[in-house]
Chains A and B, each alone.
Chain A
Amino acid sequence: MLILGIETATESVGVALGGRDGVLASVTIARGRRHGETLAPAVQFACRHAGVELGDLDAVAVDVGPGLFTGMRVGIATAKALAMALDIPVVPVTSLESLAESTRDHHGLVVPVVDARKGEVFWSMHRSDADGVTALGEPTIGSVDDLLAALGERGQHALCLGDGAYRHATALRDGADCVISGDRHPSADTLVVIGARRALREEWVTADLVAPLYLRRPDAEINWETREVRA
């Protein structure tokens, strides 16, 4: 079981190769926002030094957000292209799931928080225990106050992580029973761990079904008053 993990929902590019026994190779390029230029060479580099061929891959795991859109679309497009060309499935993973998974050794309520800008955050709630990490609800977008209300409602001590948690650390510590610790950004290594586990259970999709996670607002027709006047 060989999984390629592609993480481009942050300013960095992350690529990892591995399977059930762990990560074989991992490459991170943190030279801000050069996803289009660096992702494909990073995949090639990781394969070469891990001694594997693209044809050996069983599945591609890719971060579908929420996160940096300009990066994410490069990773998603690349994952889809590889999966189609190699005729293998894709394991789509949200950045929130990936962050939650990175705290596996911590037991209790885990709340990954991703900065959505304009004062908003994406978050989801997870229970982490000896059996692993389990989602307790759907990913949500809202203000920091909305998050504080959700944490208050849950009424449990929480571990918050992710760039949104660090950005709004003071508000979170003052307004909720929580600690802020752990990773700021999801990693390609975690994608491989999640990808390998889900691939065993065939929890995967075909490339055409992979899409970025939209949380901000529903899709609608553009109100083209000006263009209609012309037409």
Chain B
Amino acid sequence: MRLISSSAEETREIAAAVAGVCRSGDTVLLSGEMGAGKTVFAQGFGAALGVREAITSPTFTLVNSHPADGLTLHHADLYRLDRTSEIADLALAELAEFDGIVLIEWGEVTADDVPGHLAIHICPGDPDESEDRREFELSSTGERWVGRWDRLRERLSIFAEESC
């Protein structure tokens, strides 16, 4: 599923729509280069889940756990890690098990370890067109998202890229 956001505000709206179909136990992998808008997405995602405290990038803390409505949002950032054992130490799969949703920035490198995830890749659009334009590519693996995919598509239809 491909989407276009033309502002940080729209990125937050997309994130809120995704959060709206997420449930306890889900893992969402966010990828995209520095400045692509991963943390803006995380802020919109967390706000929609009911996180009240400020969401900042956990680049140095590795994982921030935020209480939300009836569950915990575990916000991770793998950017600073160099070895797979360091990812294993975070036990991200366990965090999802216990009334948690796990959102992982730079999460593409752990995709194979998380069957049934939602992957969201953000890339900056043509800088000549608009500095704030972003393209989103959403994909999922496993059975976990099959039943929700149409609902997600419907909620995001206003952001759908027309020419694709």
Contacts and interface: CB of A to CB of B under 8 A. Distances in A.
Contacts of B79: 227
A226 B108 contact: yes
Contacts of B109: 222-224
Interface string B50-91: 000000000000000000000000000011011111011101
Interface string A209-227: 0000010110111111011
Given A33-B98, A69-B94, A118-B115, A226 B83 contact: no
B106 A226 contact: yes
A221 B89 contact: no
B: contact size bracket: 20 to 34
A: contact size bracket: 20 to 34
Nearest to A73: B89
Contacts of A224: 82, 109
A70 interface: yes
Contacts of B126: none
B154 to A, nearest CB: 30
Contact of A220 (B83, B94, B115): B83
B34 interface: yes
Given A32-B98, A222-B83, A227 B88 contact: no
B31 interface: yes
A216 B88 contact: yes
A49 interface: no
A226 B31 contact: yes
Given A73-B89, A219-B83, A220-B84, A226 B33 contact: yes
Interface in A130-178: none
SS class of chain A's interface: helix, strand, loop or mixed? loop
B31 to A, nearest CB: 6
A229 interface: yes
A69 B91 contact: yes
Interface string A59-75: 00000000011100100
SS class of chain B's interface: helix, strand, loop or mixed? mixed
A220 B89 CA distance: 13
B8 interface: no
A201 interface: no
A214 B85 CA distance: 9
Contacts of A73: 89, 91
A192 B103 CA distance: 39
A69 B106 contact: no
Given A214-B85, A222-B109, A70 B34 contact: no
B73 to A, nearest CB: 15
B22 interface: no
Contacts of A230: 33-34
A113 B65 CA distance: 31
Closest 7 CB pairs of A and B: A69-B91, A219-B85, A70-B94, A70-B91, A220-B84, A230-B33, A222-B109
Interface of A: 32-33, 68-70, 73, 117-118, 214, 216-217, 219-224, 226-227, 229-230
21 contacts: A32-B98, A33-B98, A68-B91, A69-B89, A69-B94, A70-B94, A117-B93, A214-B85, A216-B88, A219-B84, A219-B85, A220-B83, A220-B84, A221-B83, A222-B81, A222-B83, A222-B109, A224-B109, A226-B106, A227-B106, A230-B34
